[in-house]
Structure 1
Amino acid sequence: MPDPTYASPSGGLPPQTALHTGRAVFTEAYAVIPHGVMRDIVTSYLPHWADTRAWVIARPMSGFSETFSQYIMEVFPGGGSTQPEPNREAEGVLFVVAGQVTLTVDGKTHLLKPGGYAFLPPGCAWTLFNKSTEPVRFHWVRKRYEAADGIAMPTAFVANENDEPIIWMPGTGNTWGTTRFVDPTDLRHDMHVNIVTLEPGAVIPFEETHVMEHGLYVLEGKAVYRLNRDWVEVEAGDFMWLRAFCPQACYAGPGRFRYLLYKDVNRHMKLGL
């Protein structure tokens, strides 16, 4: 299998001569944020982060997303934070797509390169700095952790997707699979952030319709993706945001198609407000 590649925002601004032919859409069931609209003008700056900006591509919203936020962080050389997470109830996942970053978790230091992954449980002490000479970009997925009686809180860990196997779906001839960083049966975890791979011509052959909401960031390739009633073309650098029970399916190609996938898991449904 070829080495993985990782898309990230291009920034800048389109020329004044550009046509309005983008694919951005926000519906009652899903949103698509194409890479072409992730420009400088839509970045945000965060408290206690130096020389850093962020594309906020998902956030909790009444009537839409209920469980998570997702940022694409860009930290310039010398930048970073000693107070990155303001909410002690929040857990997080970092996934590096460009450059390298120095992450310290509970006193232990790690160098994360592209494909690098870190799980950060609520209340853990962590800092992050770019000690290199090039900007670093990484996804930061945040969720309020939902504790369960008698089940311990998960612990921090660091990994890299290049060291993890792809678990292929049965009956697909090793063309549709998932790189999992957490055992699906580990009930300490109430969210999964995985990587889904579809080889050229592979399909998700039915309309998945389920309670988990999703964030899907396309790391590599292109596909035609079914979102609710629509077939939508997506490519590297695009982000899809799906409400719970939004039907989804996929035809991949012509090259390998991969995306970073968030979903909420392993907890009872809340009843009432």
Structure 2
Amino acid sequence: MSDIATAAPAASYRSAQGGLPPQSDLLTDRAIVTEAYTVIPRGVLRDIVTSVFPEWTGSRAWVLNRPVAGGATTFAQSIVEVAPGGGSEHPEPQAEVEGFLFVMDGELTVTIEGTPNVLRAGGFAFVPAGTAWSVANNGVETSSFHWIRKRYEPLAGHTPRPVVGNEQDIEPNPMPDTNGAWRTTRMLDPQDLAFDMHVNVVTFEPGASIPFAETHVMEHGLYVLEGKAVYRLNGDWVEVQEGDYMSLRAFCPQACYAGGPAKFRYLLYKDVNRQVSL
């Protein structure tokens, strides 16, 4: 690992806005919870639904997913907002839990085993379970990032390592037979069995699609970074846009059309590389 300070971002990352809607607004929104999926639209991420985590200062969080009966059970995901001077010396309360941080705006210093890494928009850090790490906003603007947490499933002969980088520096992989209209930026090595989760940035050009209903054992957390699309979730058509979040339980059928006029991009979590525990 090295001290990483990336250049000004070329990509766009929608972050939570907070605030409250006016009293004149209608109550109708796109939020929905089913046994197959949950959709949390960006309009739900208001000040009054934030959490304050122990061991953190100058911070607040929107919890997007936690293990619940009938829903996704392998991970927790939050958007954490850190004011200048804020952060945590001991952010992870459970030694058996690994973490993945993805910065959407501002500047965040993530120190892993004594090595500081300065992350800006698009920057990420994977922190293995049991690793000493801390987070600080040493900049002059508020920073926000996604924090994905998962209880690590050890595998004999395979030990994960910390990984730090920026998704803008990684060449996306085009999906087969799409002429590059559907691309995946993989921030963790998909061939390394030490990792029991992957976090990717998925990009669709306007009009591109997932042309079949994916139905698989992996759970998903999807946060829309940019653009809009229509998602097919367990038989329902759901419109999503930048700032929206979807949590999909195992085997939820899923497909989408990118609506345009801009690219449709989202941050994707999935659990991988382990046998089903019975």
What range describes the TM-score normalised by the shorter chain of this pair?
over 0.9
- Give the letter for the 2:128 counterpart: P
Match of 2:232 among 201, 226, 234: 226
3-state SS of 2:25 partner: coil
Match of 1:204 in 2: 210
Matched position secondary structure for 1:162: helix
Over 6 Å off, 4+ runs: none
What is residue 161 of structure 2 aligned with on the other side? 155
Q: Pick the aligned partner of 1:50 from 28, 42, 57.
A: 57
Query: Structure 2 CA distance, aligned partners of 1:65 and 1:223?
Result: 22
* Structure 1 runs not aligned, ≥5 long: none
Q: Counterpart of 1:41 in 2: which secondary structure?
A: helix
Distance in 2 (CA, whole Å) between partners of 1:82 and 1:10 is 26
Give 1:158's aligned amino acid. V
Uncovered stretches (5+) of structure 2, i.e. residues with no partner: 1-8
> In the TM superposition, what are the counterparts of 1:1-273 in structure 2 within 5 Å?
3-149=10-156, 151-254=157-260, 255-271=262-278
TM-score (norm 2): 0.95
Q: Between Structure 1 and Structure 2, how many residues are aligned? A: 269
Q: What TM-score results when the alignment is normalised by the length of structure 1? A: 0.97
8 Å contact 2:37–2:233 — kept in the other structure? yes
- AA paired with 2:57? A
Task: Report the secondary structure of 2:48's partner residue.
Answer: helix
Letter in 2 for 1:24: A
Residue identity matched to 2:195 = H
Shift of 1:102: 1.1
Tell me how far 1:65 sits from its aligned partner: 1.6
Task: Give, as a single letter, the amino acid of the residue that structure 2 aligns with 1:245.
Answer: F
Deviation at 1:133, TM superposition (A): 1.4
Q: Deviations over 1:88-131 (max 9, x none)?
A: 00000000001001111101111100000100000111111111
Deviation, 1:44, is: 0.1
What letter is aligned with 1:80?
G
Following superposition, the deviation at residue 152 of structure 1 comes to 2.1
Between the aligned partners of 2:218 and 2:191, the Cα distance in structure 1 is 16
Shift of 1:3: 2.8
